[in-house]
Amino acid sequence: MVSTKARRDISWVTVTLVCLPFLVLGCLIAYRKIGGDPAKMFGYTMGPVIWGAVVAGLLGRFAKARFRLTFMVTFLVMEILPLLNAVSSINNGNVTAASPSSSATEESAVPLPARIDFEWPEGWRLEPAERVDGGVAQRAVLFQNRRPVAAMLVSLGRDGPTRTLSEEANVATESATETIEKAGGTVAWSPSREDNVGNLPAIERDGTIVKGHEKARELMILVDGPDHAMCGLVYTANVENFDGYKPQFDDAVKRFTCRNTSAAASADH
């Protein structure tokens, strides 16, 4: 009986031919996600192999399942699920493209309550504007090989009537921290640094975000504009990409003007 079951099992050649392409693909995904750390790469890629052997061994012992067939099915399931997740992330990142030189003043899904004079760098994909507390925000994402590598966000709202710029920065930092922690990450912020953007007072905060094996940096700039305008400029990228794409953000910030041209601002005069 045992030998009959063994003859019915698939061959190791079949297992190798079917599983090897997915193992190579898993290695590529692991390298992009984790980097070149040998220990982490080994754990990420060999996990499905180990689990496949464990499941196949248990089912073969207690349910008389065919070892090689069970191993192959378990391995493929554990390899395909992360692959589908990676493909889903890419699809979710394929936002509506806009003209590289277009400004956020152009028509979008949400009418802007004020004009944001921001020239997005060439090649960044502009998302539709979204309502946020007290204003609007718009984001652009940079892709390399269909993979998001950096993002910028520009927001415009009205400052608190009794809050200083430093207090506004604390409120924005607390909000960002809450969002990051809800997503399962942690963030450590550097002390605030006073700056000047478009001849207007500004404050910078630099944060390091850790989520699982991934580490990113986020630069947040708050600008105190006229007519109660409060503008936010945020640049985010993984630590290995942060310095490489930051000059594009810096150039756009240099051309930026924070001003409120909404009907509400005009009514204040």
Taking only the tens place, the pLDDT of each residue in 66-115 is 888 888 888 888 777 766 665 554 444 333 333 233 333 333 444 444 44
Q: Which fold has domain 96-267?
A: Protein Transport Mog1p; Chain A (3.40.1000)
The answer to whether the beta carbons of residues 158 and 142 sit under 8 Å apart is no
Mean pLDDT is lowest, of 128-132, 153-157, 250-254, 255-259, for 128-132
Task: Record the pTM.
Answer: 0.56
The answer to whether the beta carbons of residues 237 and 216 sit under 8 Å apart is yes
Calpha distance 263→73 (Å, rounded):
62
Phi-psi region of 102 (alpha: psi -120 to 50; beta: other; left: phi over 0): beta
Q: What is the C-alpha end-to-end distance of the chain, expressed in Å?
A: 93
Which one-letter amino acid corresponds to residue 130? E
Asked if pLDDT for residue 243 goes beyond 50, the answer is yes
Asked if pLDDT for residue 34 goes beyond 80, the answer is no
pLDDT for the residue 247:
95
Residues 6+ apart with CB under 8 A from 37: none
SS3 content of the chain, % helix, strand, coil (to 5): 45, 30, 25
